[in-house]
Amino acid sequence: MDKMILSRMEYYGYHGVFEEERKLGQRFYVDLELEMDLSKAAKTDDLTLTVNYAEIHELLLEIMRTESFRLIEALAEHIASKVLDTYTIIDALTVRLTKPHPPFDIHFEGVTIELHRTRK
């Protein structure tokens, strides 16, 4: 299966268990691996036969700005569902959602959730 990979898209959102996270917001990184047949688009150079990744970015921007989740697991699941519902050409996808520098007393790069979902 062919893949389109959108790497380390950066968004600002209001997600987290702590009230301050949902009030002040913080950065998040999203990686998407979209599994689909890209052969027709590759042969014809026709954007309508593939996924417009600028539109995917706008969809994620809307989710990150207007919705709030306590768990990044729930946010990742919501992203997966919205992308699959919006783009029927996609057969399966992997969402990697990273919350860099969570608000803890220890320092680490971040926490990443990875979900793989297929069209049912």
Q: How far apart are CA 34 and CA 2, in angstroms?
A: 8
Run of H or E residues at 13? strand 2-13
Contact 60, 41 (CB under 8 A): no
Element (H, E) at 94: strand 92-100
**Set 43, 82, 99, 120: catalytic member:** 99
Reply yes or no on whether 99 is catalytic.
Answer: yes
Given a contact cutoff of 8 angstroms between Cβ atoms, the answer to whether 96 and 75 are in contact is: no
Cα–Cα separations (whole angstroms), residue 68 to 52, 77, 91:
25, 13, 27
Q: Which residues are catalytic?
A: 99
